[in-house]
Structure 1
């Protein structure tokens, strides 16, 4: 029987409708995996280890997180309603998941416009109270881009398939994507919410040449380093503090048990995601 994982369409400028992964512990033996479909005009079925996992997966859809044992997984994309994964349109490729970590795999276009698979590790380290984390990932068929906040570059020269991360005060950022060295938006501007103890991941996907660039957003609650602090600028935080405190401690224990090195609080960071060769 085909197993369809619920997916939320997050495309264009509809950032407010982002996929939300609830706060939860990641055990010492499993990993969380979400999947983003970023290849325009190409519905697919997704097979994992030969089993149909995502049925009729549409461009712009974001599915998961799947709770999976640590290990290697063969991922293949086929035409919709294929009988099996014997004739994939992409893959199969092997991804390796480590226990205690959170990942997002993307099926997207590389800079030249060829289909590719990438595996990103999500930074689930707690933030300071009153701060959130913003990660921007370039998975579009486009040259280097700058990320603008209020018309000012805050991330510069981001290339496919790189990512860059900022820890920011709780706020709403008017963000846009422009060609490197310019301020004329290719995507946006769009409002991006930086939430207290939250990780917001924005993906630029699609094709510049085909004029279908779009944004997708993924949101994961990671909690605070200071469970007792109250951010007076966040409405309703006092009422939610006990729940957030509990989630923070659960996540903190899970991260401590994981055999992973997670980054601490940073002002600005660029990391290169491991590109998976098809």
Structure 2
């Protein structure tokens, strides 16, 4: 399984260049954690259980942490140049409870703004990297922008309604070109509409970035998920969504990929161990 990381702002064609580790499926004894920086204008340092993990982490970028030991992790984030925080007291401090990581699971942690003035969130999601039916593609979209609810459109009609900040879901569809759009909730007047080419055997993880005046996305992909032609029974266009901390939250933003952009590639690899 190969992994590609794409990061971008604005509205542009989706690019699929550049490779990032790991090169195989998540192991049965460790986890993979993708860290997405979706806070505009803030270069930060990230601490894990009190130790510096990422320094100078810039907006619209992604870090792939592979072979992470299971356990409980406290994640703290401070502006680059600020003193190291006391554990659990950083800008995005998760407190004593921390984030629970289980073996055999792929996660994404997204640092992003909430809807309240100055609100900053660290939202955990579980990545659906299950095998795709032959010829299918998967889109996982997460609303992590400082923006109100939106509707996702296809052929001018709403297919998902009232998608709000911290919500996300995924959908499996046949690979191909799709005309999709995004509109304010309750409206069919698309703010943007585009034809998008989605490759078979690939999962696209799309994170809304910015605010209503300057929306963009941060994207990474995981490919090599396709079944052989004689593989698993074909799935339809059903949604996969789980509730609770560390899971895909309720609601459906599966085609926020309408905002896809690709400007810059981050392909750094880090490994962490539990304390």
5 Å matches for 1:145-156?
A: 145-156=150-161
RMSD, aligned CA: 2.8
Higher helix share: 1
Q: Give the TM-score taking structure 2 as reference length.
A: 0.75
5 Å matches for 1:33-72?
A: 33-72=33-72
Q: Within the alignment, does 1:269 sit opposite 2:239 as a pair?
A: yes
**Bigger Cα displacement from structure 2, 71-80 vs 175-184:** 175-184
Which structure 2 residue ranges, 5 or more long, are not aligned? 247-275
Which structure 1 residue ranges, 5 or more long, are not aligned? 1-6, 230-247, 253-263
5 Å matches for 1:1-278?
A: 9-14=7-12, 16-17=14-15, 23-86=23-86, 88-93=90-95, 94-113=98-117, 114-186=119-191, 188-208=192-212, 211-225=213-227, 227-228=228-229, 265=235, 267-269=237-239, 271=241, 274=244
1:184 to 1:60, Cα distance in 2 relative to 1, 3 A: farther
**Bigger Cα displacement from structure 2, 213-222 vs 188-197:** 188-197
**Bigger Cα displacement from structure 2, 11-20 vs 69-78:** 11-20
Cα offset for 1:200? 0.8
Cα offset for 1:149? 3.4
Higher strand share: 1
Cα offset for 1:176? 3.0
Q: 8 Å contact 2:31–2:69 — kept in the other structure?
A: yes
Cα offset for 1:29? 1.2
What does the per-residue CA deviation read over 1:180-212, in whole Å, with 9 as the maximum and x for residues that have no partner? 1213344x435543221111121112222xx22
Taking the aligned partners of 1:112 and 1:275, their CA distance within structure 2 comes to: 20
Runs of 4+ in 1 over 6 A off after TM superposition: none
Cα offset for 1:224? 2.6
1:179 to 1:206, Cα distance in 2 relative to 1, 3 A: same
Higher relative contact order structure (alpha carbons within 8 Å, sequence separation ≥ 6): 2
What does the per-residue CA deviation read over 1:105-136, in whole Å, with 9 as the maximum and x for residues that have no partner? 00011233511110010001101100011111
Q: 8 Å contact 2:36–2:61 — kept in the other structure?
A: yes
What does the per-residue CA deviation read over 1:60-83, in whole Å, with 9 as the maximum and x for residues that have no partner? 111114320111111011010334
- Equivalenced residues, count: 235
- Secondary structure class of the residue paired with 1:218: strand
- Secondary structure class of the residue paired with 1:77: strand
